[in-house]
Amino acid sequence: MVTSAPQLKRSPLSARRPSMSRKIAARMSTLALALAPAFGACGSGSAGHQRDSAFVAMQARGQRVMGVDQYASAHVFENLADGGRVMLDVDDSSDTASIAAIRQHMRDIAAAFRAGDFAKPFQVHAHVVPGTSVMVARRINIAYEATDCPRGAEVRIRTTDSVAVGAIHAFLAFQRTEHHAAGHEGVNLSPARRSSSAVR
């Protein structure tokens, strides 16, 4: 007579509980699924790398056009009800050469924009900047005023022409995005700037 091997019985609790290796495998799968988008975005790299390369190239062009290190200065492009404001400050208040370069650049662009000349933004961004065609067409309705600030300068842009305001806002929004810059929400105005902003 042939005897069969004894059947091992599982307790009902152990049948429901996955083994430790199954738990680890399940957790690893969950972790892999959770991290896949992040690694996929980094791993593909080409789109992120192209954006980074484009930004670095724009920063280099900006330094040539503005005469100041773009990584040692900060832009702010602020929408206002009657137009907007472009501010450029150096990080180091003792960098008097960069402060002088910024002040000259801001005076130059205020005069150029007044004349309908948007060549400098084109040189920095390597293509036509949104809003500039309307700003050129309506230039007689737009005022540009350059003002020195403690660590740089600003250009205040004003108009009562609602179409021009829309174009100015498009111009500023593009600049904010391209320069990875702040709008008014990122501005920490000094007391002197706050008081000068109030009267403008």
Q: What is the DSSP letter of 182?
A: B
86 domain-assigned: yes
Predicted pLDDT at 151: 95
Statement: residue 86 has pLDDT above 60: yes
Secondary structure element (H or E) that encloses residue 15, with its range: helix 12-16
87 domain-assigned: yes
pLDDT digits 0-9 by tens, 34-75: 444 444 444 444 444 456 888 788 777 778 878 788 888 888
17 domain-assigned: no
How many Å apart are CA 22 and CA 187, to the nearest integer? 53
More confident residue, 149 or 2: 149
121 domain-assigned: yes
10 domain-assigned: no
How many Å apart are CA 123 and CA 197, to the nearest integer? 29
- pTM for the predicted model, two decimal places: 0.65
83 domain-assigned: yes
pLDDT band with cut points at 50, 70 and 90 for residue 4: low
Q: Where are the alpha helices (DSSP H) in 45-187?
A: 46-66, 96-114, 119-125, 132-137, 162-179
48 domain-assigned: no
105 lies in which domain range?
Answer: 70-198
Q: Chain-wide mean pLDDT for the chain?
A: 76
Cβ-count burial of 21 within 10 angstroms (0-12 exposed, 13-18 middle, 19+ buried)? exposed
Q: How many domains does the chain have?
A: 1
How many Å apart are CA 191 and CA 51, to the nearest integer? 36
88 domain-assigned: yes
Q: CA-CA-CA-CA torsion for 119, 122, 124, 127, nearest 10 degrees? A: -160
How many Å apart are CA 84 and CA 80, to the nearest integer? 4
The residues that bridge with 158 in the sheet, in sequence order, are 83, 143
How many Å apart are CA 81 and CA 143, to the nearest integer? 14
How many Å apart are CA 168 and CA 191, to the nearest integer? 26
